[in-house]
Structure 1
Amino acid sequence: MELRHLKYFLAVAEELNFTKAAEKLFISQPPLSRQIIELENEIQAKLFIRNNKKVELTEAGKYFEKEVLALFQNLERATLKTKKIAENASGDFRIAYISSIYSSNISELIKHLKEQFPYVNFKLFEVSTTKQIDALEQGKIELGIIRSPIKSPRIKSQLWFQDGFSVVYNKSTIQLKSEEEIPNLKDETFVFFNKDYAPHYHEVLLELCAFYGFTPKVVHESNNINSIVQLVKNGLGISIVPSNIAKNNPDPEIGFIELKKVNLFTDVSLITSKEDDSEITKSAVDFLLDFSK
């Protein structure tokens, strides 16, 4: 049995039409039929019911299709992992992060990795949490930095740090001196993350406002934390952002009030593939974890 037999079988199983499957495979129909017959003879099982009107999978064929699909998925993962092992000294290493956690730590990480692995091309991508998880499962990134819990059997997650929240406002338009004055913001315009882009984070912001006794009047939305802070700076509203943003933003035109009374935090986590045991990944994770100590 050869891989081509299995590829031909999957094409026919998907199309349930030998003519269409042959066109998809760029071969003529007679050779395709012969390959399927060879496969059936080898495994000693009839895989298709053929007549003049239609082609159907037998029960054995349905089972075989499921197993062959799983086989090709495992083969693809093995191929990707082999490629990553081969690229341990060269190639690309892709790191994704969400906009709300970018800091000098990530820049220092790239410098550290370049010193250790000078022939590797390190790439940074700003990507939402949901898309990071999909990209990591598909082998499109090697390391992700996210701000929300995940559930995936293929991904290993390690807590980097816990982050609190702070109100951010324009000092020239809003007078805010302490956390006790937060309830007075109930009539102000708010700038939030888009609900569809970051649903978990959006819900947390609503919980925070509810704790202080009001429902925010959300007028402007953005998918990028830097855009949110810029909108606040331009006087278009106020917002609630992770306290990490306040620590990394020295702009004198905007102010931050940390919300210490409410016991709400977000976990910032490092995510990697459970199958990834490369030295580069280990070095990257260890470097970032050292910063959180």
Structure 2
Amino acid sequence: MLPYRPSEQRIVSLMTALPIVQQFDTTQPVASPRMQRSRGCGCIAAKRAGSGETRLDTLFQEGSARIRLPKSHSEGRLEAVLLNTSGGMTGGDRLDWRADAAAKTHLTLASQTAERLYRSPDGVATVDVRLSASEGAVLHWLPQETIMFDGGALHRKITVDLGADAELLICEPIVFGRTAMGETVRHGTLRDDWRIRRDGHLVHAEAFLIQGAIDARLTRKSIAGGLRAAATAILFSHCAEAFLERARAIIGEAGGASFFDGKLVCRLLAPDALALRQKLIPLLTTLRGGHALPRCWSC
């Protein structure tokens, strides 16, 4: 059998049916494809049961945000563990957390593990936290440390509304690279904006920004003296002043504690995450009146 040979007319008809391929201008830059970004929103509200214990009122979770309620042996208290199932954050990612403690409830929120802030080639990661505690409520915001990698970029906003005599303990630790892994954060951006109000009046504000050559800046004696881990813990409570001297003893020379306007403000510096935890865990335990931190802190 002779091989099939299409006629010239057939070849021409096939060629005319093919789409015309346009020539691209290789001198013009090509826009990078838009990468998929992580989004998450988690909301929790606590209420007071008839027995006086704190119970879950409402819970909502969406996207990469998850909230778990482990069994707690703390009588009358509710503990919630926050998770980011995306495994970390990079430029364009967003996490929103909302928590409300009704009158005379006790709500503690912690994170399952350290949050990781990876290199952000485009844009910044955003974390928006909004907390509220009504009259007589106790609200503790105690996430584990955020680990920043080289090139990471984060803008974190924390807004808190407190009732007349509500208690608040808030802490945010940050680690600039894992020293045990030989990591150095040469460049990046970290911006922190905190606004805390009581009965609608601003009682505390934090505005922190470090960007550019982070490692070089942290080396300066006027900033961190070469230390790579830090934390801020603030307690609003009628008994906050009683913890002042104990807090100073735990923190030592690399940091400090001050009491003013009804709040105890503690700041810590340490060479790495482990050294920071060795001070932060006993400090937070003290500020919690001797109550241990959620179990996820020891995992």
- TM bucket (normalised to shorter chain) is under 0.3
| Structure with the higher helix share, 1 or 2 | 1
In the superposition, the TM-score normalised over structure 2's length comes to: 0.21
| Structure with the higher strand share, 1 or 2 | 2
Higher relative contact order (CA 8 A, sep 6+): 1
